[in-house]
Chains A and B, each alone.
Chain A
Amino acid sequence: MSDVSPRLKQLAVERFGDRAATLGPDDDLFDSLGIDSLQALDLLTDIEEAFDVEIPDYEVSGVTTLGGLAEVIGRHR
């Protein structure tokens, strides 16, 4: 998980700007960034490209943190 997290945060910053820079692994993405589920799915597409994985949408339903996303990515690598 440790090698995934910094890259993940970088993707969040690229998509949502500097407000994502201070996100902790357990911070709620929706609350902290004020984004909706569609914007979160955009991030998922970025993640797939960056990590060269394919993650079905249903696997991330209920995932709301970078830590949670890192775990899902870990399962696919």
Chain B
Amino acid sequence: MKHVVTMAVGGYDSLPELLVDALRRHPSATLLVEAKRKQEVGRRTAAQILREARAFAAYLQSLGVDPGDRVALLMGNQSRWPISALGVFLAGGVLVPLDYKLSGPEQAALLAHAKPKAAVLDYAEWRKHEGFEVPVVLVNEAPAEAELGEGLRWEDHAEGEVPRPVVLPSRDDLATIVYSSGTGGRAKGCMLTHGAYLSQLDALLERFPMAPGDRYFSILPSNHAIDFMVGFVGPFVCGATVVHQRTLRPELIRWTMRRYAITHMSVVPLILEAFERTVREKLDELSGWRRGAFEALRATNAKLTERGPRPAVSRRLLAPVHDAFGGALKLLICGGAATDRATAEFFYDLGIPVVIGYGLTEACTVVSVHGLEPWRADGVGRIVPGVEVRIHEPDGHGVGEVCVAGPTVMTGYVDDPEQTAEVLRDGWLHTGDLGYLDASHHLHLVGRIKDVIVTPGGKNVYPEDVAFAFREVDVEELAVFAANTVWPERALGKDQLVLVVRPVEGVDPTPALARANRQLAEHQRVSGWLAWGEDFPRTASMKLKRKALVEQVGAGSTRDDLRSVG
């Protein structure tokens, strides 16, 4: 069932060069489809996309965007996301994709950090902000009566304009700056080159080729490394279709999968678990003998797909389940955070392969990923071509810090030599993740040494950022850590944040901590607090010595001493 990829990525030097060529190869292929709730609102061929992107590039140029200038993109998943992104590339710009799910202040902090020449935003995003330091602000889909101040409308440019020619970037030039952490205090803008993307694309298309007729449903935010690659660049190169749904609700996600017979999708573990819940609820509704019959079919399917997926067979055997997911699903890519092996196996037995891999923004998209033949869910897959992995200072069991090298690794964090030097040492990216390589060169992760948690929704949360929310609570001292930093445990998927608190004598801080905790976004909340009686170790300038405190607390307490925050 392998499709032949007709484009060799290797011969290109930049994303715009590759994408323009790809769009010209299959001009009449429908590459973008957009739905708004249960209605289709747009459909575009490759030729139309190229025309619109070129007109947008000319618009950017007319507003003063020159080659090498940064352009921030802050939009929900929709057709204009890739069109705008391509426009930025065609104008020679560096794309700074930002997460529309962040709060206004978080977005503002990243915009201030990235210092873009222009920002392209949805009206809903634009409304989150009170003022802009950005010279050019383009607002998408603002209502006719909206007062935009200095902002301009995305739509205010002529169709059919063509950009003036620019010298296309080379492989070593910067393509994007992608932020790997959410908030201002420790903004980490990963600088990724065109070469990094091209190298990564080559490796991914070899393992997971897409073809005309494949339909990818883009639900991860498009700024996310996975969606950027699998929901924009990859399908454009292969002539496959990307489907966007403006309203990403579980019910509408299911509707869209059915309506467009989706074949590929990327999800985070949170969504995969929601899918599992849906299937299990349906199974629970089956009467005794029907359930028995279903289980027999599932066992048959598991047997028949031992060597690799056989979508047509599985679809016939287990039609009701497949129909619930649109009836055409070939694979689900799960990333962003640790995937539960049992969940992945549950779906595979139903004939829906879940592709598990490991990646981080600092290394473009993916470091390792499982293939499909045979399908596996143990570990996080084989190292992809073009990427080198080594285990730094392994212990007796071969476990150490996962380090990555090769063309896909970022050139550094933008404007931050200090943080760059911490993670890029002697040409190796130190990921902060603990793991080992097995005899067949598959990577396995066992924990984290960085003081960070990764949520099931795929978000990195840094303890120092969260501590800010508790600044007004009446305590002597307080600090936030990842529980795993204080009490190391070799397990993934159980990440949580905890507070270490030196209370004011005679005052129970629990209610105030609970109040402050509720002000945080759900994924940033701490799960418990530890009462600590001793002064926190501090430097002469009163800066907290986090490492020393971790050692003291780790030695003098256990997870069982944690108290609830209400």
Contacts and interface: CB of A to CB of B under 8 A. Distances in A.
Interface string B512-527: 0000001001100000
B518 A44 contact: no
A44 B456 CA distance: 21
A64 B524 CA distance: 14
Contacts of B249: 41-42, 44-45, 57
Interface string B273-287: 010000000000000
B552 interface: no
Interface string B101-143: 1010000000000000000000010000000000000000000
B251 A61 contact: no
Interface in A24-64: 28, 30-31, 36-39, 41-42, 44-45, 54, 56-58, 61-62, 64
B518 A28 contact: yes
Nearest to A42: B250
Contacts of A36: 270, 274, 456, 522
A8 to B, nearest CB: 17
Contacts of B270: 36-38
B124 A56 contact: yes
B99 to A, nearest CB: 12
A52 to B, nearest CB: 14
Nearest to A26: B518
Interface residues of A, number: 18
Contacts of B203: none
Interface string B243-284: 000011111100000000000000000110010000000000
B271 A38 contact: yes
A36 B101 CA distance: 15
A69 B248 CA distance: 18
Nearest to A41: B249
A36 B275 CA distance: 13
Given A42-B249, A45-B251, A57-B248, 16 more contacts: A36-B456, A36-B522, A37-B457, A37-B522, A38-B271, A41-B249, A41-B250, A42-B251, A45-B252, A56-B247, A57-B247, A57-B249, A61-B103, A62-B103, A62-B521, A64-B518
Interface of A: 28, 30-31, 36-39, 41-42, 44-45, 54, 56-58, 61-62, 64
Closest 9 CB pairs of A and B: A41-B249, A58-B124, A38-B274, A45-B251, A45-B249, A42-B250, A30-B522, A38-B250, A28-B518
Interface of B: 37, 101, 103, 124, 247-252, 270-271, 274, 456-457, 518, 521-522
13 contacts: A30-B522, A36-B270, A36-B274, A37-B270, A37-B457, A37-B522, A38-B250, A38-B271, A45-B251, A57-B249, A61-B103, A62-B103, A64-B522
